[in-house]
Amino acid sequence: MERLIAVAVIVCTAELLAQPRVLSDEGLLGWEVARLRHAWFVHGPLSWIMDACCSYPRVLVLLGVRLLLALALLVGVPPGWPHVLLLGALALVWMISFLRVPQGADGADQMITLVLVSLAIAGLAAMMGARFAWSVALAFVALQAVVSYATAGIAKATSSSWRSGAALPGIAGTDMYGNRSVARFLQARPRTSRFLARGIIVWECSFVLVLLLPLPWAVLVVASGVAFHLLSAFGMGLNTFLWAFLATYPALFHALGFLG
């Protein structure tokens, strides 16, 4: 789980570092404008910390540190306090950089935050003698995963464009999440688009059943999740969704083992 979430952080960080000028004061994500979102970004002692970390080009250093910490987590560090300190440092740096660049944040960014903070708290609690800290953290992440899928499915079910199938070619036709070949294919086949859209709704709403199914069937549900996120990554460019949600699957298997 740690290694998968480390890959998610690496991918997300690499995407930002690939276009550093967008973070400059003249760029779309410049700090001089972004800091006006909150008064404590502008005035007070916390504003000094944020300025020191988030102004350009210091933000590139922050992202570089985030990248190095994620690489260290991916490679692995000795157990004990080095491991706990690494988790805590990565969670802290991730949250600061998340405050710096919240634009375009989505469910993948929120899931990375949740997993990193859960791991950091569990690691600290375990070092302080809490016997079930890791199990509680894994159960929490597993529950969050199924709730996230169910929430997304319910939201789609309340949308007439999703129920009719119009949402899929509409999304595929956008610049940000689009794929022209997929958009043309679905626009020419409205029945196929409607079938796929409703299938996604049913799949997301029923994902919670993974916690109730026997292990072989649960493995199939998890495998369908892998396939879903792979297709989303290739078709819509949702690269971090793939790794962020895959990182929750070990927690799901832990929960399955606990539930018997």
Indicate the SS3 state at residue 54: helix
204-227 burial code (b ≥16 CB/10 A, e <16): bbebbebbeeeeeebeebbeebee
Give the single-character DSSP code of 45.
H
- pLDDT, tens digit (0-9, with 9 covering 90-100), for 111-156: 999 999 999 999 999 999 888 999 999 999 999 999 999 999 999 9
- pLDDT, tens digit (0-9, with 9 covering 90-100), for 95-118: 999 989 887 778 899 999 999 999
Per-residue pLDDT of the chain (260 residues; tens, 9 = 90+): 999 999 999 999 999 999 999 999 888 888 988 888 888 888 888 888 889 999 999 999 999 999 999 999 999 888 899 999 999 999 999 999 998 988 777 889 999 999 999 999 999 999 998 889 999 999 999 999 999 999 999 999 999 999 999 999 998 888 777 778 888 898 999 999 999 999 999 999 999 999 888 888 999 999 999 999 998 888 788 889 999 999 999 999 988 876 65
Written as one letter, the residue type at 118 is S
pLDDT of residue 259: 64
Taking CB atoms within 8 Å and a gap of at least 24, the contacts of 117-120 are 117/91, 119/1, 119/2, 119/5, 119/87, 119/91, 120/84, 120/87, 120/88, 120/90, 120/91
pLDDT of residue 237: 81
Q: Where are the domains positioned within the chain?
A: 1-108, 132-260
Distance, CA of 41 to CA of 49 (rounded, Å): 9
| CA-based end-to-end distance of the chain | 21
Classify 38 in phi/psi space as left (phi over 0), alpha (psi -120 to 50) or beta: beta
pTM: 0.91
